[in-house]
Amino acid sequence: MHLITLLEAVSVLVGLGAAAVVPSSHVLHEKRGRRHPRLTKRAPGDSILPMRIGLRHNAEAMAKAEEWLMDVSHPSSPNFGKHWSQDQVINSFRPSDASVEVVTGWLVNAGIARTRITHTDNKLWLAFDATVQEAEELLKTEYYHDGEHDDDDDNDKVVVGSNAYYLPAHVQEHVDYVTPGVKSTTIDLKRLRRRRAAKRDTTKRDTVEGVSHRRSKNTQPRLIENVDEVLSRDRNDLSNCDSLITPACLQALYDYSPPSPHAKVSPKNSLGIFEEGDYYDQPDLDLFFTAYTPSIANGTHPKLDSIDGGVAPLAGFYGGESGLDFTIAYPIIFPQTITLYQTDDQYYAYYTGSQGIFNTFLDALDGSYCNYTAFGETGDSDIDPQYPDTASPADEDPYLGQLQCGVYEPTNIISISYGVYEQDLPYSYQERQCNEYLKLALQGVTIVIASGDTGVGGYNYGTYGDGAYYGCLGDDDAVFTPSEACSCPWVTNVGATEVFPGHTVFEPESAVLVQENRLNGNYSSSGGFSNIFPIPAYQKKAVQHFFDTANPPYPYYYNGNWQNATNGGVYNRNGHGIPDVSANGWNYPGWYDGSFGTSGGTSMSAPIFASLLNRIVEERIKVGKGPLGFVNPTLYENPQVLNDITNGTNPGCGTEGFHAAKGWDPVTGLGTPNYPKMLELWLSLP
């Protein structure tokens, strides 16, 4: 047995690089499938590495997390609304004291003085600096970097990592991740420098609009030819709501009136809106205010919470997404304010895009998330933006500060109109992120996310243009593809409806379906069943009712196992159902770089629903009550406060998709808001 272990260890050492023969007391913790192609130069032994040991997450806390959230979120709970403080959340999810002691003891015995070790504020990491020689001996590995000898360049960074590393057997169960390790780290190495090319890859700039549009959930604006005639109409006229959904149309649909522009509002109830790679244009906002909401003064704009170099507005740039979000929200909530979470510098957010999404945003709201370990993921991933930004040319104004961690307090309600699809990101990446949404919900934060605009499928040819025609899963491009991050059960995801031509705002809406020759296919409300997350307890009854009364005609599979479905299954029968609710998502007027047109998408639907929730929080504050937190359990227990949508489909993957039905359905969820009923319900709760 000892001989086999030793031979295996030597094999790894020869194939992937390590410092010495691994003793039998150690076990392999992580290794690459093959050597990193760029990490080819040995790191000098006296170079300093910022070592970080991610402690394995608290298994007991993970098992109880849903129960904790339901305790403060379910309307029948005696603890409804008794949200946790951030310190309570951090202390509850931190690794066990035993893990801290075992790992610290190993380090001290290996020669790392206790005074050199810091237990980070978020309780999830042990941090210390070590020479390369010390780290290699500690982890039985070798470190490599991708730099070049260049003593004249003192500012650039090198990527340092190993191809495999080992831990003592008694320590392994307490450690999730070590960095630098298989997960590389960008650092300065003494005497070693790497020169980055200062010339931008112009092919990326050529495709930038595709990157930005694919991540947001809005349709491209359609310019209107008869501008003068449309703008001459009475802004309160409801006779044309089937072709132009104005703020007055939304008020009639969901039975609310705009607040008085002189109303006194709470300074602690700003509506949060996330943006990335898209920038609002103040002249466009002013044109909208003048035409449709003259009680909102020109120059009204969101408060900017800049995250990792995010800037807005940005001269020379205008965004259909940002403009839509703000022209939707302001007429519903003003004089309540809006907080803009503009995320990532221009290089990562606009010019190149990063495959990852939302992590830097969540870092800024919760400092503990920056180094949080869960589901095999510690801290931000290699697919996320890396700060300081040394990849961007200087003329693109890169953000050269450190990654921002815990710099902003989250607003009570946050609206997000961005996302991709589950197959676009590692499952562990999404699971870790979803757990963070749960932690925010425990603290009373409501996250509202657009479900997407592609029915049961994805974008034509995939999110990044390298997939099959329908953007669906499987060799035959036929398996339905759930969107993310709305697949997480701890957020409220919003589908889209519309007023069909010839109908009025006083008739039931239908699921949106726009059949046009569009680059990304027909527009319909994304919905279906997650391949990652199971049906949460609060949703089981509603989903089962849908299967019992409107059973879809398609074969299915279980547990997200679409790769091995032998019956041609196209959706996950026991996955979390998407969306939860819906709101209008078509034909909203706006200005785009000075041109008048209409837009839509679930990007329109999400801020409608979020804005109405923000108004409910305001009313609760007036009577001495707190924020809503996670609203889904209350909505699923009280579907009567929503307008049930029973007409429409969400086609994709060469099918009609699912059909809207009585009760919850994977097209429009529980339905659209009935503001008076929603307000009455939440005012009746503690």
| DSSP state for residue 220 in the 8-state scheme | P
CB 583 within 8 A of CB 673: yes
For residue 538, which of 79, 92, 84, 71 has the smallest C-alpha distance?
71
Residue 347 DSSP one-character state: I
In this structure, the strands spanning 175-179 and 48-55 are antiparallel
Question: Tokens 């191809």 label which residue?
Answer: 163
Measure Cα distances from 148 to 38, 580, 676 in Å: 11, 52, 66
| Catalytic option among 392, 599, 603, 611 | 603
Start-to-end Cα distance in the chain: 63
Give the Cα separation of 137 and 11 in Å (integer). Answer: 18
The dihedral over CA atoms of 314, 319, 325, 330, expressed in degrees to the nearest 10, equals: 50
Angle 180-183-186 (CA atoms, 0-180°, nearest 5)? 60
Which residue, 670, 666, 651, 671, is CA-closest to 551?
666
Query: Residue 302 carries which DSSP code?
Result: P
CA distance 203 to 193: 27
Question: Residue 175: which H helix or E strand, with range?
Answer: strand 175-179
Distance of CA 626 to the CA centre of its chain: 25
Quick one: how many helices (H) and strands (E) in the chain? 19, 33
DSSP run (H or E) holding 204: helix 202-206
Q: What is the DSSP string of 65-111?
A: HHHHHHHHHSTTSTTTT-PPPHHHHHHHHSPPHHHHHHHHHHHHHTT
Under DSSP, the state recorded for 381 is -
Distances (CA, A) of 9 to 136, 289, 658: 15, 69, 53
Which of 275, 276, 325, 424 is labelled catalytic? 325
Q: Is the separation of the CB atoms in 650 and 524 below 8 Å?
A: yes
**321 assigned to active site:** yes
Catalytic, out of 134, 305, 321, 509: 321
Catalytic residue flag (residue 325):
yes
For helices 427-442 and 86-93, give the axis angle rounded to 10 degrees.
140
Q: Residues 445, 84: contact at Cβ < 8 Å?
A: no
Whats the size of the chain, residue-wise?
A: 686
Question: What does residue 223 show for φ and ψ, rounded to 5 degrees?
Answer: -70, 145
DSSP string, 101-112: HHHHHHHHHTT-
The answer to whether 648 touches 585, Cβ cutoff 8 Å, is no
Distance CA(596)–CA(591), nearest Å, equals: 4
* Structure token pair of residue 492: 């409220």
Report how far apart, in Å, the C-alpha atoms of 682 and of each of 335, 448, 506, 633, 678 are: 21, 17, 25, 12, 6
Please check whether residue 457 is in contact with residue 469, taking contact to mean a CB–CB distance below 8 angstroms. no
Please confirm, yes or no, whether 392 is among the known catalytic residues: no
**Distance between CA 581 and CA 666 in Å, rounded?**
9
What is the spatial distance between Cα 420 and Cα 483, in angstroms, rounded to a whole number?
6
- Classified as helix, coil or strand, 573 is coil
| 610-638 b/e (C-beta count within 10 Å ≥ 16 → b) | bbbbbbbbbebbeeeeebbbbbbbbbbbb
The residues annotated with a catalytic role in the active site are 321, 325, 603
